[in-house]
Amino acid sequence: MALPKRAALAWSVALLGMAMLAMAVFGTASGTTVFSTTRMAVAAALLSLYSSAIAMLAVPRRERSFIRSLIFAGTVPLLIGVATVVVVLRTEVAPTQALLCGLPWLLGVLSAPLFGRVVPALHLPWRRG
């Protein structure tokens, strides 16, 4: 499969997984009145790692080089981190605070090329071989 098709598959799997997990987090958070920034940062870092890991599962192991792992699994957390920074900047806070809000999302971006060759491949039913 060509690189754009693999990337689209990995990104769609990551976005679908993020949406499902985000619904669970929102459902859990709706029952509480206390919001801790530390808890939110840990949740963002775990969501970033999760989306990176499931994007890796959609790509065969033999196709995961350092750069391709970064493209396949690091793009979705990076875009969400940038969107977080932009949204926080619009609330009229200091730019350093906005950058700190997007920092937990870099965990998935940085872990993608490091663990890309280690994560096992998932056998998808539409794949041959």
Tell me how far apart the alpha carbons of residues 118 and 110 are, in angstroms, rounded to a whole number: 14
pTM of the model: 0.75
**Which range marks the domain in which residue 43 is found?**
3-115
Let me know if residue 129 belongs to a domain: no
Query: How would residue 11 be classed by pLDDT, with cut points 50, 70 and 90?
Result: confident
Let me know if residue 73 belongs to a domain: yes
When pLDDT is averaged across residues 35-39 and rounded to a whole number, the result is: 75
Which of 2 and 108 is assigned the larger pLDDT? 108
Let me know if residue 127 belongs to a domain: no
Which of 10 and 49 is assigned the larger pLDDT? 49
Tell me how far apart the alpha carbons of residues 87 and 93 are, in angstroms, rounded to a whole number: 10
Let me know if residue 10 belongs to a domain: yes
Q: What is the pLDDT of residue 78?
A: 92
Let me know if residue 28 belongs to a domain: yes
Let me know if residue 7 belongs to a domain: yes
Residues 6 or more apart whose Cβ sits within 8 Å of residue 20: none
Let me know if residue 81 belongs to a domain: yes
* Length, in residues, of the chain: 129
Query: How would residue 108 be classed by pLDDT, with cut points 50, 70 and 90?
Result: confident
Tokens of 108: 């998935």
When pLDDT is averaged across residues 48-68 and rounded to a whole number, the result is: 84
Tokens of 110: 């940085």
Residue 6 has a CB neighbour count (10 Å cut-off) of 18
- Cα torsion 94, 99, 102, 108 to 10°: value is -170
Provide the number of structural domains found in the chain: 1
Let me know if residue 122 belongs to a domain: no
Q: At 90, phi and psi to the nearest 5?
A: -75, -15
Which of 33 and 123 is assigned the larger pLDDT? 33
Tens-digit pLDDT profile for residues 80-103? 899 989 988 898 888 898 888 889
